Amino acid sequence: MDTARVVIDPAFRIGEADRRLFGSFVEHLGRCVYGGVFEPGHPAADALGLRGDVLELTRELGVSVVRYPGGNFVSGYRWEDGVGPVGDRPRRLDPAWKSVETNAFGLNEFMVWARAAGVEPMMAVNLGTRGVQEACDLLEYANHPGGTHLSDLRRRHGAAEPYGIRLWCLGNELDGPWQIGHKTAEEYGRLAAETARAMKMIDPGVSLVACGSSGRGMPTFAAWEATVLEHTYEHVDYISAHSYYDPTDGDRASILASAVDMDAFIADVVATADHVAAKHRHTRRLKISFDEWNVWYMSRPQDAERPAWTSAPPLLEDEYTATDAVVVGDLLVTLLRHADRVGVACQAQLVNVIGPIRTRDGGPAWRQSIFHPFALTARYARGTVLRTEPAGPSHDTARYGAVPSLSTVAVHDEETGALSVFAVNRAETDLAVDLDVRGLPGLAVAEHLAIAAGDAVNTAGHPDAVAPRRLDPPALDAGRGTVRLAGASWNLIRLTPAG
Ligand code: AHR
């Protein structure tokens, strides 16, 4: 069996495990809103129509931030359609997803849901078909206390207190030719800078995200970031990154190594942002908002057969395998490893649409395979993220060449003394990992949970086909021990103060 070595020491500090790294995303797309978080008349729904079973799973998932209302949808959205008496709200075409938007769910329903879920809202403004004024109007409606037309309108709509929404995305994926109102980097950079300046005049407490590239493979990648940041650097707090990994696209070794691409993506964006900072003598370092990431079966034929112009059609309802859970676990390891530069991250999306939660209209809600690594990472990655720099074997992949077989990160909770080690064995063969935690004396392994890759999926009938397995925890001798990681597996090794 191959062996690897991991040394964990509190001196190797990366940064705090920001709770905002465990974000998710609710878009008006398919059945994410309608039939997902919101289904009036469902047996588990409250008087407003919020599904209690989905709320419960959202809380269990440990989601911290939820981005809303899109995605591609936001680039054609009129936020005012979704507020006020429901009977007066217009039905509109949503060109992004060729659907009909009823507007039965809007900002105020989302804010009630966010409070019930215990999550921080992250709003996106429409910079596709709209501009500075509409972004300011939405901000005034949401965050201004009262005494103006739009803030008083919110009060009349039942929200007496301002929402105080801190995180705002300045549009979505405007580098993409598929985007409604697609722009050049120059056009978007100017618009984003002016929108940011005006929004900060209204509410200086907001944190703003400029659109980075919608993928590292975009022909304009890096040049887009550089130009956009030339215009926006001093006005924004984050630059976004989006990345999806398609399990049907390529060899299994490459799929299992998807996080290698995310790692390089983050490094490239950091380098580009720091170049702009150096050029303009900015001392403040920009962070990344990785506000769309996931595994997505993009090339599945079902996605080509969309029923056009219906309301809440079942779109992008991917069923995730145990292998996908291993990949998602590794993507989370990668985000944590960049905790010094990634400040927000949102798995896309929350429910039904490429989501960790699935539902049936009028029926049950259940956890997909990818729910588990997310929930366990969100629960245990608390405290200081520690660099592990594993020394071990590498193996070949068609897409990325030779990749390290072992991907790890450790998080030390100074309050409880607990240490959580997240480890992915990307290789097909078992790996013996020599763990050295002498830098944190007095720890014992409390638990070893693992998910091994495979084709099993969770369904309404078999909701627990894929779940973490509890393995025998290895013994430590004076701070050293060996953990065996199965081939192609995601692992959580929890160490707590002994005795
Ligand atoms: O998450 C699904 C879609 O992927 C989003 O609407 C868009 O921003 C991205 O291309």
308-321 CB burial, b ≥16 within 10 A, e <16? eeeebbebbbbebb
Are 350 and 437 within one domain?
no
Count of Cβ atoms closer than 10 Å to residue 372 Cβ: 24
Q: Is there a catalytic annotation at residue 27?
A: no
Q: Which two tokens stand for residue 408?
A: 């790890």
Residue 303: per-residue pLDDT: 63
* Ligand 1 geometric centre to CA of 25 (Å): 10
Tell me, what CATH number does 443's domain have? 2.60.40.1180
Place of tokens 């002016």: 194
Q: Whose CA is nearest to atom 9 of ligand 1?
A: 71
227 vs 308, higher pLDDT: 227
* Ligand 1 geometric centre to CA of 71 (Å): 5
Are 375 and 463 within one domain?
no
Interval 245-263 mean pLDDT: 96
Are 368 and 416 within one domain?
no
Residue after which a domain boundary falls, among 324, 358, 380: 380
Are 133 and 28 within one domain?
yes
Per cent of the chain over pLDDT 90 is: 97
**Best of 28, 72, 180, 303 for a ligand 1 pocket test (most atoms within 8 Å of beta carbon):** 72
Residue after which a domain boundary falls, among 380, 401, 423: 380
Are 285 and 400 within one domain?
no
Q: Count of domains in the chain?
A: 2
Q: Whose CA is nearest to atom 2 of ligand 1?
A: 71
Q: Which two tokens stand for residue 85?
A: 């008496």
Per cent of the chain over pLDDT 70 is: 99
Are 342 and 399 within one domain?
no
Q: Using 50, 70 and 90 to split pLDDT, how confident is the model at 300?
A: confident
Contact present, 328 and 370 (Cβ < 8 Å) = yes
Residue 373: per-residue pLDDT: 98
Kindly report the pTM of this predicted structure. 0.97
Contact present, 29 and 349 (Cβ < 8 Å) = yes
Structural domain boundaries, residue 339: 18-380
Are 336 and 393 within one domain?
no
DSSP characters for 64-116? -EEEES-SGGGGG--GGGGSS-GGGPPPEEETTTTEEE--SS-HHHHHHHHHH
Q: Is there a catalytic annotation at residue 173?
A: yes
Q: Whose CA is nearest to atom 7 of ligand 1?
A: 71
Contact present, 17 and 333 (Cβ < 8 Å) = no
Are 392 and 301 within one domain?
no
Residue after which a domain boundary falls, among 349, 380, 411: 380
Q: Which two tokens stand for residue 132?
A: 């500075």
* Arithmetic mean of pLDDT over the chain: 97
Q: What is the pLDDT of residues 458-472, one digit of tens each?
A: 999 999 999 999 999
Are 119 and 251 within one domain?
yes
Tell me, what CATH number does 266's domain have? 3.20.20.80
Are 401 and 355 within one domain?
no
Are 341 and 416 within one domain?
no
Q: Which two tokens stand for residue 337?
A: 């490893």
308 pLDDT more than 90: no
Interval 75-90 mean pLDDT: 98
Are 65 and 6 within one domain?
no
